[in-house]
A and B are shown apart, each in its own frame.
Chain A
Amino acid sequence: AQTVTQSQPEMSVQEAETVTLSCTYDTSESDYYLFWYKQPPSRQMILVIRQEAYKQQNATENRFSVNFQKAAKSFSLKISDSQLGDAAMYFCAPHTNSGYALNFGKGTSLLVTP
């Protein structure tokens, strides 16, 4: 079974600043995908960014980017120019080709202050 560790239960960032959320995972497979999901309070979970493990280039989606270190099994999310609407729970989730389900970490609660 895969394990996913998000070591930061809570993080805080000021508006317009940059914050990095960490995630480490454990898998014996070489080909897999990694996802970050955002879950605002009382709202549905939405996909923020995805990374294919075979790609060395880090994925970027507007203000969101990842730092993928395959050897270290690390997949951190960087949010630049933070906005109040970024406040949410963020979940890291790897997905291997041999398994059907996404395995979620326990999440990091991000607070954005004015």
Chain B
Amino acid sequence: DTGVSQDPRHKITKRGQNVTFRCDPISEHNRLYWYRQTLGQGPEFLTYFQNEAQLEKSRLLSDRFSAERPKGSFSTLEIQRTEQGDSAMYLCASSPPAGTGYTFGSGTRLTVV
């Protein structure tokens, strides 16, 4: 296993377009997390999956954001009608049961122009 993979690494999109990001976690990790990080800040939690169930969503996750994890494997994060304020690094992480720490992917950098 090569760790947590995220695709694409970079995405530039025009305001108003929809974008979708993919995360492939470590195969034996049943927990998957999405975070957003802006320059000079720590990561902010967006949402959490345990297997295929989305168990927690941050209030940061507006109705333009949706995440899925079909079959409890890879996950997708979609942003509809992107806005300039959505420009950020979107990080995915996975973990086994709580307490062991996360393994992060390299992130997807989104730029909305």
Residues of A bordering B, CB below 8 Å: 4, 33, 35, 37, 43-47, 50, 52, 91, 95, 97, 99-107
- Contact present for B48 and A101 (CB under 8 Å): yes
CB distance from A89 to the nearest CB of B (A): 8
Asked if B85 CB lies within 8 Å of chain A CBs, one says no
Q: Is the CB of A104 within 8 A of B33?
A: no
Docked complex: B76-113 residues within 8 A CB-CB of A: 91, 93, 98-107
For the complex with contacts A103-B45, A105-B42, 9 further pairs of A-B residues with Cβ separation under 8 Å are A33-B98, A37-B104, A50-B100, A50-B101, A100-B55, A101-B45, A101-B58, A102-B43, A106-B40
Report B's interface with A, CB cutoff 8 A.
31, 33, 40-45, 48, 50, 55-56, 58, 91, 93, 98-107
Main SS of chain A's interface residues?
Answer: loop
Distance of A93 from chain B, by nearest CB (Å): 8
For the complex, give the distance between the alpha carbons of A101 and B91 in Å: 13
User: In the docked arrangement, what's the CA distance between A103 and B33, Å?
Assistant: 12
A113 to B101 CA separation, bound complex (whole angstroms):
30
